[in-house]
Amino acid sequence: MVNIKKAVITAAGRNQSRLPLQVLVDSDGAQKPAIKIIFNEVLSAGIDQIGLVISPLDKEGYQSALGDVPAKVQFITQDEPKGYGHALLCAGEFVAGDPFLHLVSDHLYLSGKDKTCAQQLVDVARAEECSVSAVQPTREGMLPYYGTVGGKGVPNKEHLYQIEKVFEKPTPTIAEQELIVPGLRAGYYLCFFGMHVLTAGVLNILNSHLAAAKNGSLPLSPALSELASREKYLACDLQGRRYNLGVKFGLFNAQLALALAGSDREDVLAQMVEVLATRSSKN
pLDDT average, residue stretch 113-120: 95
Counting runs of H as helices and runs of E as strands, what totals does the chain give? Answer: 10, 13
Average pLDDT, the chain: 92
What's the confidence (pLDDT) of residue 270? Answer: 84
What's the confidence (pLDDT) of residue 1? Answer: 59
**8 A C-beta contact, residue 227 and residue 125:** no
Q: Confidence band (pLDDT; 50, 70, 90) for 275?
A: confident
Q: Confidence band (pLDDT; 50, 70, 90) for 268?
A: confident
What's the confidence (pLDDT) of residue 283? Answer: 58
- DSSP sequence for 59-101: HHHHHHHHTT-SSEEEEEE-SS---HHHHHHTTHHHHTT--EE
- Nearest by Cα to 143 from 221, 228, 251, 61: 221
> Rg of the chain's alpha carbons, rounded to an integer?
19
- 111 has pLDDT over 80: yes
Lowest-confidence region among 139-143, 220-224, 239-243, 272-276: 272-276
CB atoms within 10 A of CB 235: 30
**Residue 42 vs residue 212, higher pLDDT:** 42
CB atoms within 10 A of CB 85: 26
Q: Which residues contact 60 (CB under 8 A, 6 or more apart)?
A: none
| Measured distance CA(188)–CA(147) in Å, rounded | 13
What's the confidence (pLDDT) of residue 215? Answer: 79
| Measured distance CA(9)–CA(25) in Å, rounded | 21
| Measured distance CA(84)–CA(1) in Å, rounded | 25
What's the confidence (pLDDT) of residue 131? Answer: 97
Q: Confidence band (pLDDT; 50, 70, 90) for 3?
A: confident
How does strand 147-153 pair with strand 188-198?
Answer: antiparallel
Q: Confidence band (pLDDT; 50, 70, 90) for 151?
A: very high
- Nearest by Cα to 135 from 179, 177, 84: 179
Helix (H) or strand (E) holding 209: helix 201-209
- 16 has pLDDT over 80: no
**8 A C-beta contact, residue 35 and residue 65:** yes
What's the confidence (pLDDT) of residue 281? Answer: 62
- 180 has pLDDT over 70: yes
User: At the top level of CATH, which class does the domain 6-282 belong to?
Assistant: alpha beta
- Nearest by Cα to 39 from 120, 109, 130: 109
**Residue 16 vs residue 36, higher pLDDT:** 36
Q: Is the pTM of this model over 0.85?
A: yes
What's the confidence (pLDDT) of residue 2? Answer: 63
**8 A C-beta contact, residue 178 and residue 165:** yes
**8 A C-beta contact, residue 142 and residue 241:** no
DSSP 7: E
| Measured distance CA(183)–CA(108) in Å, rounded | 27
Domains of the chain: which residue ranges? 6-282
| Measured distance CA(233)–CA(196) in Å, rounded | 11
| Measured distance CA(46)–CA(56) in Å, rounded | 28
**Segment 183-210, tens digit of pLDDT:** 999 999 999 999 999 999 999 999 999 8
What's the confidence (pLDDT) of residue 26? Answer: 94
Helix (H) or strand (E) holding 172: helix 172-178
- 282 has pLDDT over 80: no
Tell me the residue ranges of DSSP E strands in the chain. Answer: 6-10, 23-25, 31-33, 49-54, 72-77, 100-104, 107-111, 131-139, 147-153, 160-168, 188-198, 233-237, 240-244
**Segment 224-267, tens digit of pLDDT:** 999 999 999 999 999 999 999 988 899 999 999 999 998 888 88
